[in-house]
Amino acid sequence: MDHRLPGPAAQSLLEDGQPTILVSGEGWRRLASGRPADPGVALIIPTSGSSGRPRLVELTRSAVEAGVASSLRALAAEAGDGWVSCLPLAHIGGLLVLLRGLLGGVPLLFRRPGELEPVAGFPFVSVVPTQLVRALDAGVDLRSYRALLLGGGGVDTALGSRLAAAGAPCVVTYGLTQSCGGVVYDGIPLPGVSVRIGDGAEIQLGGPTLFRGYRDGAAAGLTADGWLPTGDGGRLDGDGRLHVHGRLDDLIVTGGENVWPGDVEAALRSHPAVADCAVFGRPDATWGQRVVAAVVPRDRGVPPTLDALRDHVGALLGRHQAPRELVLVETLPRTALGKLQRGGLDVGTQEAGSRE
């Protein structure tokens, strides 16, 4: 469990998990109300909660071993290559670093989240986008790493350009807690992992890293032939490389056109007046849904206008993807790892308008 969780959220996870032993900074104690895990379960860990209340995922030892082994193999890691641990261990991406040390025998170096300065002998690190942005802003030389595994969200155009200019060897990972973390590296599945596109352009994952179910007893919800429906939309190109569009639930259909929020967000972030943003849909009598942009201005005193952002996005993506409503906000709801919580975007309109 993440020690930063507020009391009610932590209590909710405890109630869902029903642990038999509770370990904390005060030591450990046995709980009379606990329920033992099934013998086949090696790890129970919550999902990120970016799309709602976190769920407790059950992973077997064979799934964890497969995830660790396939990752080390894909990265061509050699004996003695160390890993930097600077992500919370209560999330699958951070815990996998620890598990590489436990199961793969690799050396580990524990550091604070903002400490990304390279250290000899530790060429691998798992990070989230926020850490990379702060490292680049601080002028940290990332070239000595062999791979910076990026999870918790993709790389937008601006960040990708900065990483390329800095010579940072970034590997963008894709996966879910239910798949034992990232199992697709730069669009290519790890050894033993399979990817296919199902109905409605949904990404589906297969292979030995998949979870067995949820702690509350709910089934894994796999397809009849054993694939994990991810709820994400995407496509495979001619080389078999996966391109992720975003959550299918987040897809905006406006005027009969499909608009992926992530594409619009990337375009908006390239506008000099936008510090951060989130895009979502709202019902619209004319368009079915209208594209709404919640924007954190770079300068609160001189915020961007709807017309300016529509022109900017229209020039990059086409007019049909440009926002028809603008909401100015001070912050956006995010998880501890920086993932946008779209369920918390029910914000009131502070500035609105429409232009054909």
pLDDT digits (tens, 9 = 90+) for 303-329: 999 999 999 999 999 999 999 999 999
DSSP string, 233-254: EEEE-TTS-EEEEEEGGG-EEE
Q: What is the mean pLDDT of the chain?
A: 90
* The pLDDT of residue 179 is above 70: yes
pLDDT band (50, 70, 90) for residue 51: low
Task: Report d(CA 330, CA 233) in Å as an integer.
Answer: 30
Residue-level pLDDT at 355: 41
Residue-level pLDDT at 259: 92
Residue-level pLDDT at 354: 41
290-302 pLDDT, tens digit per residue, is: 999 999 999 999 9
Least confident of 39-43, 45-49, 221-225: 45-49
Least confident of 21-25, 189-193, 271-275: 21-25
Residue-level pLDDT at 262: 87
pLDDT band (50, 70, 90) for residue 50: low
Amino acid letter, residue 174: Y
Residue-level pLDDT at 158: 78
H or E segment to which residue 308 belongs: helix 306-317
Does 63 or 8 have the greater pLDDT score?
63
Angle between helices 261-269 and 306-317 (to 10 degrees): 110
Q: What is the mean pLDDT of residues 206-214?
A: 96
- Residue 350 in tokens: 């502070």
Residue-level pLDDT at 172: 94
7-37 pLDDT, tens digit per residue, is: 888 888 889 999 999 998 889 999 988 999 9
Residue-level pLDDT at 135: 94
Query: 61-210+221-247 — its CATH code?
Result: 3.40.50.12780
73-97 pLDDT, tens digit per residue, is: 999 999 899 999 999 898 899 999 9
Residue-level pLDDT at 152: 77
* The pLDDT of residue 353 is above 80: no
Where do the structural domains in the chain lie, given as residue ranges?
A: 7-59, 61-210+221-247, 251-352
* The pLDDT of residue 337 is above 80: no
Query: 251-352 — its CATH code?
Result: 3.30.300.30
Task: Report d(CA 223, CA 220) in Å as an integer.
Answer: 9
Q: What is the mean pLDDT of residues 107-128?
A: 94
Residue-level pLDDT at 217: 87
pLDDT band (50, 70, 90) for residue 340: confident
Alpha carbon 322 to chain centroid, angstroms: 25
SS3 helix, strand, coil % of the chain, rounded to 5? 25, 30, 45
